[in-house]
Amino acid sequence: MPTISLRKEFLDKALGKVYDNDEMSDLLDRFGLELDEIVRESVDELDENLLKTGKEIEVDIYKIDIPANRYDLLCHEGLVTALKMFLEKSERVVYKAVDTKNEKNKITVVENFKGQSSIRPFVVGAVLKNVTLNDFIVKNLIDLQEKLHQNLCRRRTLVAIGTHDLDTIEGPFTYEFKKPEEIKFIPLNDTVSMTAPEMFAKFSVDSHLKEYLHILEGQEYYPVIYDKNRIICSLPPIINGDHSKISAKTKNIFIECTGTDFEKCQATVKTIAALFSEYCEEKNVTEMVYIDYTNTECNKKIIKTPEYKDLIVETCSQTINKKLGVNLNDDEIIKVLSKMGHTVTKKQGGGLIVSAVATRTDVLAECDIIEDVGIGYGYDNIIRTNPKDVTYGLPLNMNSITERLRIVMSSMGFTEALTFALMSKDDISLLPGKFDESMVIVSNPKTRDCQAVRTNLIAGLLKTLSHNKIVPMPIKLFEIQDVVVRDADAETGARNIRKIAGIYCNTTAGFEIARGVVDQLLISLNVETSSNGYKFVPGDNPVFFPDRCCQLVGPDSNIIGNIGCLHPLVLKQFSLGMPVCGFELTLENLL
pLDDT tens per residue, range 204-253: 888 888 889 999 988 889 999 999 999 999 999 999 999 999 999 999 99
Q: Are 498 and 406 in contact (CB under 8 A)?
A: no
Q: Could you give phi then psi for residue 283, rounded to 5 degrees?
A: -60, 135
pLDDT digits over 45-84, tens only? 776 767 777 787 888 889 999 998 899 999 999 999 999 9
pLDDT at residue 412 tops 90: yes
Which of helix, strand or coil describes residue 226? strand
Q: What is the mean pLDDT of residues 524-530?
A: 84
Give me the chain's average pLDDT, please. Answer: 90
Confidence of residue 1 (pLDDT cuts 50, 70, 90): confident
Confidence of residue 444 (pLDDT cuts 50, 70, 90): confident
- In whole angstroms, give the CA distance from residue 362 to residue 70: 6
Question: Which ranges constitute the DSSP H helices of 156-290?
Answer: 196-203, 262-276
pLDDT at residue 430 tops 90: no
Residue 517 lies in a domain: yes
- In whole angstroms, give the CA distance from residue 198 to residue 396: 61
Q: What is the mean pLDDT of residues 561-569?
A: 92
pLDDT digits over 350-374, tens only? 889 999 999 999 998 899 999 999 9
Whole domain around residue 328: which residue ranges? 311-378
Q: Are 477 and 581 in contact (CB under 8 A)?
A: no
Question: Which ranges constitute the DSSP H helices of 245-295?
Answer: 262-276
pLDDT in the model for residue 308: 92
pLDDT digits over 491-508, tens only? 888 999 999 999 999 988
CA dihedral 271, 273, 279, 283 (to 10 degrees): -100
pLDDT at residue 451 tops 80: yes
Phi-psi region of 156 (alpha: psi -120 to 50; beta: other; left: phi over 0): left
- In whole angstroms, give the CA distance from residue 135 to residue 121: 34
CA dihedral 336, 341, 346, 350 (to 10 degrees): -60
Q: What is the mean pLDDT of residues 140-144?
A: 93
Q: Are 341 and 92 in contact (CB under 8 A)?
A: yes
Which of these, 23, 90, 82, lies nearest to 375 by C-alpha position? 82
Which of helix, strand or coil describes residue 404? helix
Would you give the DSSP letter of residue 33? -
Q: Are 60 and 37 in contact (CB under 8 A)?
A: no
256, 272, 305: which is the final residue of a domain? 305
pLDDT in the model for residue 171: 83
Q: Are 354 and 337 in contact (CB under 8 A)?
A: yes
pLDDT at residue 532 tops 80: no
Q: Give the residues across from 175 on adjacent strands.
A: 109, 225
Question: Which ranges constitute the DSSP H helices of 307-365?
Answer: 317-324, 330-339
- Regarding whether 76 and 100 lie in a shared domain, the answer is no
Confidence of residue 138 (pLDDT cuts 50, 70, 90): very high
- Regarding whether 203 and 187 lie in a shared domain, the answer is yes
Confidence of residue 588 (pLDDT cuts 50, 70, 90): confident
pLDDT at residue 529 tops 90: no
66, 86, 106: which is the final residue of a domain? 86
Which of these, 476, 479, 463, 470, lies nearest to 428 by C-alpha position? 463
CA dihedral 362, 364, 369, 370 (to 10 degrees): -110
pLDDT in the model for residue 80: 93
- Regarding whether 579 and 485 lie in a shared domain, the answer is yes
**CATH code, 292:** 3.50.40.10
Residue 418 lies in a domain: yes
Encoded amino acid at 170, one letter: E
- Regarding whether 321 and 209 lie in a shared domain, the answer is no
- Regarding whether 315 and 300 lie in a shared domain, the answer is no
- Regarding whether 57 and 129 lie in a shared domain, the answer is no
Q: Are 324 and 374 in contact (CB under 8 A)?
A: yes
- Regarding whether 568 and 465 lie in a shared domain, the answer is yes
Residue 532 lies in a domain: yes
Question: Which ranges constitute the DSSP H helices of 35-190?
Answer: 76-86, 135-150
pLDDT in the model for residue 554: 84
Question: Which residues are within 8 A (CB) of 179 and not within 5 positions of it... i.e. 6 or more apart?
Answer: 220, 221, 222
CB atoms within 10 A of CB 419: 18
Burial class (CB in 10 A: 0-12, 13-18, 19+), 450: middle
CB hemisphere CA count around 228 (13 angstroms) = 11
- Regarding whether 524 and 463 lie in a shared domain, the answer is yes
pLDDT in the model for residue 50: 73
Residue 59 lies in a domain: yes
Residue 105 lies in a domain: yes
- In whole angstroms, give the CA distance from residue 5 to residue 65: 9
347, 378, 409: which is the final residue of a domain? 378
CB atoms within 10 A of CB 121: 24
- Regarding whether 479 and 454 lie in a shared domain, the answer is yes
Question: Which residues are within 8 A (CB) of 443 and not within 5 positions of it... i.e. 6 or more apart?
Answer: none
Domains of the chain: total: 4
Which of helix, strand or coil describes residue 385? coil
- Regarding whether 169 and 103 lie in a shared domain, the answer is yes
Burial class (CB in 10 A: 0-12, 13-18, 19+), 341: buried
Which of these, 480, 485, 409, lies nearest to 441 by C-alpha position? 485
Q: Are 521 and 499 in contact (CB under 8 A)?
A: no
Residue 345 lies in a domain: yes
pLDDT in the model for residue 58: 84
Pairing of strands 194-195, 184-185: antiparallel
Mapped to the 3 state alphabet, what secondary structure does 562-586 carry? Answer: EEEEECHHHHHHCCCCCCEEEEEEE
- Regarding whether 469 and 419 lie in a shared domain, the answer is yes
Q: What is the mean pLDDT of residues 117-132?
A: 91
List Cα–Cα distances, 116 to 83, 119, 120, in angstroms. 45, 7, 9
Pairing of strands 253-259, 285-292: unpaired
Residue 383 lies in a domain: no
pLDDT in the model for residue 400: 92
State the Cα angle at 409 between 408 and 413, rounded to 5°.
Answer: 115
pLDDT in the model for residue 438: 87
pLDDT in the model for residue 492: 87
- CB environment 31-51: b (16+ within 10 A), e (fewer): bbbbbbeeeeeeeeebeeeeb
**CATH code, 466:** 3.30.930.10
**CATH code, 355:** 3.30.56.10
366-377 and 330-339 are packed helices; what angle lies between their axes, rounded to 10 degrees? Answer: 80
Residue 225 lies in a domain: yes
Encoded amino acid at 513, one letter: I
Q: Could you give phi then psi for residue 10, rounded to 5 degrees?
A: -75, -35
- Regarding whether 246 and 101 lie in a shared domain, the answer is yes
